[in-house]
A and B are shown apart, each in its own frame.
Chain A
Amino acid sequence: MIFLAIFSFAIKLILHYHITWRMYEIRFHGRGGQGGRMAAEAYALAAFLEGNYAVSFPFFGAERRGAPVRAFTRVDNKKIRIKTQVYEPDYVVVLDETLIETEDVLEGLKEDGMVIINTQRKPEEVKLSKPVKCATVDATSIALDILGRPITNTSILGAIAKATGKVSIESIEKAIIEKFGERLGKEAGEKNALAARTAYEKTLIGVSQGGKAFVPRKKWLPDVNEMPVGGATPAMKTDAGLVGIGSFIENKTGDWRTFIPSIDKEKCIGCRFCWFYCPEGCIEMVDNKANVNYDYCKGCGICANECPVNAIEMKREVRT
Chain B
Amino acid sequence: MNIKDLPEEDYFTSGHTACAGCPAPAIVRNMMKIFGKDTIVYTPANCLLVFSGTYPYLAWKVPYLHEAFENTGSCISGVARAYKKIGKKALVVGIAGDGGTYDIGIQALSGAAERDEDVIYVCYDNEAYMNTGIQRSGSTPYGASTTTTPAGKKIPGKLRHKKDMAEIMRAHEIPYMATLSISHPKDFLNKVEKAKNVKGFRYLHVFSPCPTGWRFDPSKSVEIARKAVQSGMWTLYEAEYGEITGIYKPKKKIPVEEYIKGQGRFRHLTPEMIEELQRWVDRKWKRLYGEEP
Contacts and interface: CB of A to CB of B under 8 A. Distances in A.
A250 B19 contact: no
Given A276-B30, A298-B20, A300-B21, A233 B15 contact: no
Interface residues of B, number: 47
A65 B212 contact: yes
Given A276-B6, A276-B185, A233 B58 contact: yes
A99 to B, nearest CB: 15
B219 A300 contact: yes
Contact of A248 (B20, B58, B211, B223): B58
A233 B56 contact: yes
A295 B24 CA distance: 20
A282 interface: yes
Contacts of A277: 23, 26, 182, 222
B10 interface: yes
A66 B56 contact: no
B149 interface: no
A33 B23 CA distance: 17
A110 B122 CA distance: 51
Interface of A is mostly: loop
Given A67-B17, A247-B57, A273 B25 contact: no
A248 B3 contact: no
A244 B21 CA distance: 25
Interface string B1-20: 00110100010111111111
B219 A65 contact: no
Contacts of B185: 273, 276
A306 B220 CA distance: 9
B52 interface: yes
A181 to B, nearest CB: 13
Interface residues of A, number: 48
A309 to B, nearest CB: 15
Contacts of B19: 32-33, 64-66
A299 B19 CA distance: 11
B50 interface: yes
Contacts of A244: 56, 58
Nearest to A62: B50
A278 B26 contact: yes
Interface in B234-291: none
A281 interface: yes
A220 B56 contact: yes
Nearest to A272: B3
B177 interface: no
Pick the most buried of B47, B54, B211: most chain A CB atoms within 10 A of its CB: B54
Nearest to B19: A65
Pick the most buried of A248, A251, A271: most chain B CB atoms within 10 A of its CB: A248
B36 interface: no
B51 interface: yes
A245 interface: yes
A281 B61 contact: no
B64 interface: yes
Nearest to B2: A272
B22 A279 contact: yes
B65 to A, nearest CB: 8
B57 A251 contact: yes
Contacts of B3: 271-273, 275-276
B126 interface: no
Interface in A279-311: 279-282, 293, 295-296, 298-302, 304-306
Contacts of B20: 33, 65-66, 256-257, 279, 298-300
20 contacts: A33-B19, A62-B50, A62-B54, A63-B17, A64-B51, A66-B17, A242-B57, A244-B56, A249-B13, A253-B15, A278-B26, A279-B18, A279-B26, A282-B14, A298-B21, A300-B219, A301-B21, A301-B218, A302-B218, A302-B221
Given A251-B16, A256-B20, 20 more contacts: A33-B212, A62-B50, A63-B17, A233-B58, A245-B61, A246-B58, A247-B56, A248-B52, A249-B59, A251-B17, A253-B15, A273-B3, A276-B185, A279-B21, A279-B22, A300-B21, A300-B221, A305-B219, A305-B223, A306-B223
Interface of B: 3-4, 6, 10, 12-26, 29-30, 47, 50-52, 54-64, 182, 185, 211-212, 217-223
Q: What are the 8 A-B residue pairs with the smallest beta carbon separation, nearest first?
A: A301-B219, A65-B19, A300-B21, A251-B15, A243-B56, A298-B20, A248-B15, A296-B14
